């Protein structure tokens, strides 16, 4: 009898250990903002959404758009109507069915909700029609080239209409989507926990039972936790730590260049020399050596750049190459602008290690040209609120990027767009953005990008600096890890051995 009892206990212990072994502990650099696809805007939030919320379409490792919640789609000859077939048998995590009505609800929510961060991304949508239970027709005001690319991110994420209606503005506290994992709990600045959704449409490809997203802003602490076995995976490994991870036989590295950029946002609504005079902004850019910043702070791993896409991107405008540092010219420009003393500017910076180090190098370089930059550190969420309110002078800012260049430009540069933190308004820039959106002709779009670059790189509402090499470090126990250019982890196929 006692032998059977012992065997039962051992079996139960083994099953519990096996379940626990499939708990992925994932180290995030910062605490995400609202867990609601309509209102969210952080890169770390997108990491969590990758587990919670499937999208209409996704991208593969080569940036091809591939089916997810939509299985197929077609365009009308005039490119003003997109018809999508919705996958049959998909359920939200509250048991409700995903159908064409739910897709219509979500797209209209993105367009109409007060404070929506998605409105600008899909503003060309005029109406959404339900053709049949699994077919939706999206009618556009004008042809809109980036639409499918927008659906590969939060604009394409589907939440439960029932839950969104019942919870209202509290939805982010208990999000319900159609993804592989369901929300369990969130402790601010500490952790977000999700568990496998047993009715997920592709459940046979999900091997993890639970994911614990742990918020650890300090890159050194995050890596220490990985090396000690307290984490299984971390994102945004510091480039300066790359060599020690590569030398550790228990760890692996994944990497890809991001689709986005790192930039200095300039608040043009301020009553300051930097805001009011483009010569002062040009002087600030000429005081900076992007290659030196890359070497000193990022161990040479990042890619210097001066546009919304990297020099490796086919949409990079080669007619406007990266300017070289020229302190003498910077000083001359300040003199032309009538500046006699140091240009005093408050620079808002995220509180993570790499942002702090970047800011210090930028501060030292700018000082040589006649700028006195005062570094003001704050957490990521507070910095975004300051940007929203226009309560900053200069901000070192990160944008994770989108597959189509429109996702890196329109919301930041179009007049009154949701993420136009610089408060930039230019008729020529608006015209170029309108032109690139309303054609699917690659050459016509390239011409529009060139027009946009000519205007924006002269006005300098922001100064593009570099493009990160996104680095992941993870335990050799983790298998199935893939590298995607949007910098997000796909949890399908991931397994802990």
- Tens-place pLDDT, residues 74-112: 999 999 999 999 999 999 999 999 999 999 999 999 999
pLDDT score, position 20: 58
Angle between helices 353-369 and 327-336 (to 10 degrees): 70
Task: Decide if pLDDT at 404 tops 60.
Answer: yes
- In sequence order, the 6+-apart residues with CB closer than 8 A to the CB of 458 are 278
pLDDT tens, position by position, 123-161: 999 999 999 999 999 999 999 999 999 999 999 999 999
**pLDDT at res. 352:** 87
In this prediction, residue 43 carries a pLDDT of 92
Q: How confident is the model at residue 381 (pLDDT cuts 50, 70, 90)?
A: confident
- Tokens 């091809």 locate to 64
Using the predicted structure, report yes or no on whether residue 308 has a pLDDT greater than 60: yes
Q: Residues 307-312: what's their mean pLDDT?
A: 96
* Mean pLDDT of the 380-384 span: 89
Instruction: With H, G, I as helix, E, B as strand and everything else as coil, classify residue 137.
Output: strand
Percent of the chain with pLDDT over 70: 96
Strand partners, 371: 343
> What number is the average pLDDT over the span 233-247?
95
Q: Is 344 helix (H, G, I), strand (E, B) or coil?
A: strand
At residue 10, does pLDDT exceed 70?
Answer: no
Global pTM reads 0.86
Min mean pLDDT across 13-22, 224-233, 291-300 is at 13-22
Task: Show the domains of the chain with their CATH numbers.
Answer: 20-33+179-258+470-496 (3.40.190.10), 54-163 (3.90.76.10), 261-467 (3.10.105.10)
Tell me the helix, strand and coil percentages in the chain, rounded to 5: 35, 25, 40
């Amino acid at each position: 009898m006692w032998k059977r009892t012992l065997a039962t206990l051992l079996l139960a212990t083994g099953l519990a250990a096996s379940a626990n072994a499939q708990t992925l502990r994932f180290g995030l650099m910062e605490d995400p903002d609202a867990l609601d696809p309509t209102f969210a805007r952080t890169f770390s939030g997108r990491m969590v959404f990758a587990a919670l919320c499937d999208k209409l379409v996704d991208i593969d490792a080569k940036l091809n758009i591939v089916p997810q919640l939509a299985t197929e789609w077609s365009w009308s000859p005039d490119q003003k109507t997109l018809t999508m077939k919705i996958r049959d048998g998909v359920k939200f995590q509250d048991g409700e069915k995903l159908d064409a009505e739910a897709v219509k609800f979500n797209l209209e929510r993105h367009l109409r909700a007060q404070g929506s961060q998605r409105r600008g991304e899909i503003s060309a949508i005029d109406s959404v029609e339900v053709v049949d239970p699994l077919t939706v027709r999206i009618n556009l005001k004008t042809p809109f080239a980036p639409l499918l690319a927008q659906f590969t991110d939060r604009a394409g994420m589907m939440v439960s209409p029932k839950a969104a209606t019942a919870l209202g503005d509290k939805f982010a506290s208990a999000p319900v989507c159609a993804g592989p994992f369901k929300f369990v709990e969130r402790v601010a600045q500490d952790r977000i926990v999700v568990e496998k959704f047993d009715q997920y449409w592709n459940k046979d490809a999900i091997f993890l039972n639970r994911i614990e997203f742990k918020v650890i802003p300090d890159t050194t602490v995050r890596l220490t936790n990985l090396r000690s076995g307290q984490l299984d995976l971390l994102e945004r490994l510091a480039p300066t730590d790359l060599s020690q991870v590569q030398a550790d036989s228990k760890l692996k590295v994944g990497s890809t260049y991001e689709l986005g950029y790192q930039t200095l946002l300039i608040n043009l609504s301020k009553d300051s020399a930097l805001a009011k005079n483009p010569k002062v902004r040009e002087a600030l850019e000429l005081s900076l050596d992007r290659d030196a910043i890359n070497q000193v702070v990022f161990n040479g791993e990042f890619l210097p750049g001066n546009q919304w896409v990297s020099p490796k991107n086919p949409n990079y405008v080669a007619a406007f190459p990266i300017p070289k540092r020229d302190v003498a010219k910077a000083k001359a420009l300040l003199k032309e602008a009538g500046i006699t003393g140091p240009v005093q500017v408050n620079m808002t910076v995220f509180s993570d290690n790499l942002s702090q180090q970047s800011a210090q190098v930028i501060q030292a370089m700018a000082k040589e040209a006649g700028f006195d930059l005062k570094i003001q550190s704050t957490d990521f969420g507070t910095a975004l609120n300051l940007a929203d309110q226009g309560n900053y002078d200069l901000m070192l800012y990160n944008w994770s990027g989108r597959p189509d260049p429109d996702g890196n430009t329109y919301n930041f540069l179009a007049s009154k767009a949701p993420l136009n933190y610089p408060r930039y308004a230019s008729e020529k820039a608006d015209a170029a953005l309108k032109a690139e959106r309303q054609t699917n002709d690659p050459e016509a779009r390239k011409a529009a990008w060139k027009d946009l670059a000519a205007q924006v790189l002269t006005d300098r509402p922001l100064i593009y600096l570099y493009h990160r090499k996104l680095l992941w470090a993870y335990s050799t126990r983790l298998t199935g890890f893939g590298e995607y250019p949007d910098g997000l982890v796909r949890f399908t196929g991931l397994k802990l051995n």
